[in-house]
A and B are shown apart, each in its own frame.
Chain A
Amino acid sequence: MNYAIVRAARLSLEEFALLSGLHPDLIRRLVALGLIDADRDTAGELWFSRAEFGAVARVQRLRAGFALNYAAIGLVTDLLDRIAVLEAALRGQAARRPGR
């Protein structure tokens, strides 16, 4: 029986660092600061999902654009996410109300 080749669902720290172009130490620091999510296995190794590439890119853009430190970026990304949720809810409300 043949099996389709499936991309590994999660990436090791080294793979993730290589693909995002950042140093593994920096990645580790971003995880410690809660800026990107990672799973830690029983051996203590970090594992990343591909969705975190977007998060890392956003951290880099915010740092480059505003000269923020990493702790401040955590606050900014949280606020941006909350605003996005609220705006989506607001749009949904406006759409349901007729006669705009």
Chain B
Amino acid sequence: MANQDFYQVLGVPRNADQDEIQRAYRKLARTYHPDVNSDPAAEDRFKEISEAYDVLSDPQTRRRYDAFGPDFRQVPEDVDPDEWRRRRAGAGAGQTRGGFQSGGSGRGDGFSFSGGDIDLEDLLGGVFGGRAGRRWGPIPGADQEAELEVTVEEAYRGARRTVALTGEGTRRSFEVTVPAGVTDGQRIRLAGQGGRGSDGAGNGDLYLVVRIAPHPRYRLDGRDLYVELRLAPWEAALGTSVPVDTPGGEVKVKVPGGTSSGRQIRLRGRGLPNPKGKAGDLFAEARIMVPTRLSHAERRLFEQLAAESDFDPRRQR
């Protein structure tokens, strides 16, 4: 992260003026601030943006960043950028950092500084560390939200899932138990896995919002499960018993005689289970299908039925 170019992070040219930098930062902050954007990846982005702005908004630090690059914090305060440039140019081509050696050259003309790893985190104090002189103290992290898509079958039976969240250079994965009977929009809470708190304050929580994936055969409304039940005209007219696949296995649906398309046959308690009460129902929706091509015999029988019957489906009741 420290190697990211701060100008690129803010999306401004290197010669941008302070107004432009400020504008770019404000716009990005409005998009990625953890309270505005609950996506876990947004936090890392916001951190980068804040860090870039911290450096570029202060003309002094910006000058040092321009001169010394990403490692500018390790160059001592009293080094003059122009002097440094001259010396680096003089140190010969090809040597990128030749003019400055960690630990110093031991000669009077070299700049010396103890390299060492300086933790940016220490300098910036986390996401909201802020500029020098503007410390906010410990601030707990924000809650975050991520989507967890589950199938209808998983919602019915419950499941164990490994959820991986990838941020900028970070990857976290969680073993999550999806409880049986979970509904669309329900939230699974992972305590302390949300946004990081600054200065030792507690982390926020991560909420996985359950999204039930569209299914080719099932439709869900809360815990009620709808499934299409295709019937031949004579089955619908005479009544029958049809096996129907449900997430819980095959069930027999008794279709009463005189069933028209659209009729819903309810199987109580055969929908999604409810850990805290009544299970949902299964609704088999009748849909009458006819053959696209009729055999001679079928045609004859339908013609006979048409001549015989006085049924008029369009008659006003």
- Check B136 against A95 for contact (C-beta < 8 Å): no
Q: Please tell me if B214 contacts chain A, counting CB pairs below 8 Å.
A: yes
Shortest beta-carbon distance from A87 to chain B in Å: 10
Instruction: Chain B residues near A99: list those with CB within 8 A.
Output: 214
Which of chain B's residues has its CB closest to A77's CB? Answer: B35
CB atoms of A66 and B185 under 8 A apart: no
- Is A4 among interface residues, defined by CB-CB distance under 8 A? no
Kindly report which residue of chain A lies nearest to residue B49, judged by CB atoms: A65
Among A29-37, A40-48, A51-59, the stretch that binds chain B is A51-59
B14-41 at interface with A (beta carbon < 8 Å):
26, 29-30, 33-36
Closest CB-CB distance, B24 to chain A, in whole Å? 15
CA distance A61 to B33 in the complex (A): 9
Q: CB < 8 Å: which of B34, B212, B214, B219 contacts A61? A: B34
- Distance of A54 Cα from B221 Cα, bound (Å): 33
- Give the distance to chain B from A53, nearest Cβ to Cβ, in Å: 7
Interface residues of B in 161-218 (CB under 8 A from A): 184-185, 197, 201, 204, 209, 211-212, 214
Asked if A100 is at the interface of the complex by the 8 Å CB criterion, the answer is yes
**A57: B residues at CB distance < 8 A:** 139-142, 197, 201, 204
Q: Which residues of chain B are near A61, meaning CB under 8 Å?
A: 33-35, 128, 139, 142
Cβ-defined contact, A95 with B142, below 8 A? no
Let me know if B214 and A65 touch, CB within 8 A: no
Which among A21, A64, A65, A95 is the interface contact of B211 at CB below 8 angstroms? A95
Closest Cβ of chain A to B49, distance in Å, is: 10
Which among B35, B141, B211 is the interface contact of A80 at CB below 8 angstroms?
B35
Would you call B137 an interface residue if the criterion is a C-beta within 8 Å of the partner chain's C-beta atoms?
Answer: yes
Known: A95-B211, A98-B214. A65 touches B29 (CB 8 A): yes
Instruction: Give A94 Cβ to nearest chain B Cβ, in Å.
Output: 9
Interface assignment of B143: CB less than 8 Å from any CB of chain A: yes
Q: B33: which of A53, A66, A88, A96 is its contact (CB, 8 Å)?
A: A66
The reply to whether A64 and B139 form a contact with Cβ atoms under 8 Å apart is yes
A54→B130 CA distance, assembly (Å)? 21
Contacts of A54 in B (CB 8 A): 140, 143
Contact (A100, B185) CB under 8 Å given A58-B35, A60-B136 = no
Q: Which of B30, B46, B142, B184 contacts A58 (CB 8 A)?
A: B142
A24 CB to nearest B CB, Å = 15
User: Nearest residue in A to B135 (C-beta to C-beta)?
Assistant: A64
B35 engages A62 (CB within 8 Å): yes
B239 at interface by CB-CB < 8 Å: no
- Known: A21-B137, A64-B136. Is A91-B185 also a contact (CB below 8 A)? yes
Looking at the complex, which one of B29, B139, B184 makes contact with A60 (CB distance below 8 Å)? B139
Chain A residue contacts of B29, Cβ below 8 A: 65-66
CA distance A98 to B136 in the complex (A): 48
Pairs A–B under 8 Å by Cβ, sample size 18: A21-B138, A22-B137, A54-B140, A57-B141, A57-B142, A58-B35, A64-B130, A64-B139, A65-B46, A66-B29, A80-B36, A91-B209, A91-B211, A92-B184, A92-B185, A95-B185, A95-B211, A98-B214
Known: A21-B201, A61-B142. 15 other contacts (CB 8 A): A57-B139, A57-B140, A60-B128, A60-B136, A62-B35, A64-B136, A64-B139, A65-B29, A65-B33, A65-B128, A66-B30, A66-B33, A92-B184, A99-B214, A100-B214
Which residues from chain B sit less than 8 Å from chain A, CB to CB? 26, 29-30, 33-36, 46, 50, 128, 130, 136-143, 184-185, 197, 201, 204, 209, 211-212, 214, 219-221
